């Protein structure tokens, strides 16, 4: 009989213990929702993107958030926590206590720190652009004013040395193309001063011609004489390429440029001279 009473007492105590644990667990498992706004205590303006966190809670989903552009926030966390904290750069952190109500609204007013610097806006006085007293404008005007006198046709006689170099090449060659087996013994072609590499792209010279000459000019009667002192160019196999015809074609394509002309022709394009 004694054993039966003890067993009954044990079962009763165990039942109440389990019930108590479940009740406490359910109480701790319940969440509450806190919404509200964070504002400047002085101006009452909302503080956007301030951090609002549950004090003492681990940094998990729902225990930390940021205010939106209107200073509003929403937190959902267990009822066991009773305090939230707002923080923002330039302000003292501010705590707010919450109740165990399922839903509640809070307004958190934050004070600016005493060492907060006031905003300073610096604006430069905008000066009106004027050509007057501009040395660059004055110089170009002098060039235009005297261009008929300074150009070659404005001289009675002229003598000068002239160096010409024409280089044409294949552009946008990739690393893969350059490293082909056929170019294994010709890598020097891509390493000369006449080749260039930009953004992993190569330029392979296909035609090069250099010429050094002495030029004599007379205005009246008009005559120009050019004496070739030296001439060298890339020679292609004459069985397949007309080298003289190719040179004549390029000479026609790249005619002499006179910067004193109102219009300058380069290849197939025409440009307005800067001193027109």
**So what's the pLDDT on residue 148?**
84
**So what's the pLDDT on residue 105?**
94
18: which 2 tokens?
């389990």
Encode pLDDT of 14-54 as tens digits: 444 544 444 444 444 588 999 999 999 999 999 999 999 99
**So what's the pLDDT on residue 87?**
92
Please, which residues have CB within 8 angstroms of residue 124's CB and are 6 or more apart in sequence? none
Residue ranges in the chain modelled with pLDDT below 50: 1-5, 14-16, 18-28, 193-196
262, 239 Cβ separation under 8 angstroms: no
**So what's the pLDDT on residue 23?**
44
Q: Tell me the backbone φ, ψ of residue 226, rounded to 5 degrees.
A: -120, 125
d(CA 151, CA 274) in angstroms, rounded, equals 15
On whether the 2-110 domain is CATH 2.60.40.1120, my answer is yes
**So what's the pLDDT on residue 135?**
85
**So what's the pLDDT on residue 21?**
44
The CATH 2.60.40.1120 domain(s) of the chain lie at 2-110
* 52 burial level (CB within 10 Å; 0-12, 13-18, 19+): buried
Encode pLDDT of 74-109 as tens digits: 999 888 899 999 999 889 999 999 998 889 999 999
**So what's the pLDDT on residue 96?**
93
**So what's the pLDDT on residue 240?**
63
Q: Considering the entire predicted model, what is its pTM? A: 0.40
Could you tell me how far CA 239 lies from the centroid of its own chain?
Answer: 52
Please, which residues have CB within 8 angstroms of residue 231's CB and are 6 or more apart in sequence? 209, 210, 211, 212
183: which 2 tokens?
């170019």
């Amino acid at each position: 009989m004694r054993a039966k009473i003890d067993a009954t007492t044990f079962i009763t105590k165990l039942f109440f213990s389990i019930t108590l644990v479940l009740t406490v667990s359910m109480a701790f498992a319940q969440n509450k929702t806190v919404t509200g706004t964070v504002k400047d205590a002085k101006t009452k303006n909302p503080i956007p993107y301030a951090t609002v966190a549950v004090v003492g809670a681990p940094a998990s989903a729902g225990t930390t958030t940021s205010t939106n552009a209107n200073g509003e926030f929403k937190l959902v966390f267990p009822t066991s926590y009773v305090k939230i904290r707002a923080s923002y750069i330039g302000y003292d952190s501010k705590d707010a206590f919450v109740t165990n109500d399922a839903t509640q609204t809070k307004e958190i007013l934050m004070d600016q720190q005493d060492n907060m610097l006031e905003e300073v806006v610096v604006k430069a006085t905008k000066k009106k652009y004027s050509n007057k007293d501009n040395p660059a404008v004055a110089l170009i005007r002098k060039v235009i004013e005297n261009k008929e006198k300074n150009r070659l046709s404005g001289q009675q006689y002229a003598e000068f040395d002239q160096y010409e170099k024409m280089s044409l090449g294949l552009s946008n060659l990739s690393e893969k193309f350059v490293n082909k087996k056929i170019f294994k013994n010709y890598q020097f072609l891509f390493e000369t001063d006449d080749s260039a590499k930009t953004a992993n792209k190569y330029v392979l010279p296909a035609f090069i011609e250099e010429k050094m000459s002495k030029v004599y000019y007379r205005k009246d009667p008009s005559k120009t004489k050019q004496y070739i002192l030296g001439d060298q160019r890339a020679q292609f196999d004459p069985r397949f390429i007309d080298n003289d015809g190719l040179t004549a074609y390029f000479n026609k394509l790249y005619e002499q440029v006179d910067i004193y002309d109102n219009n300058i022709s380069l290849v197939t394009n025409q440009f307005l001279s800067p001193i027109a």
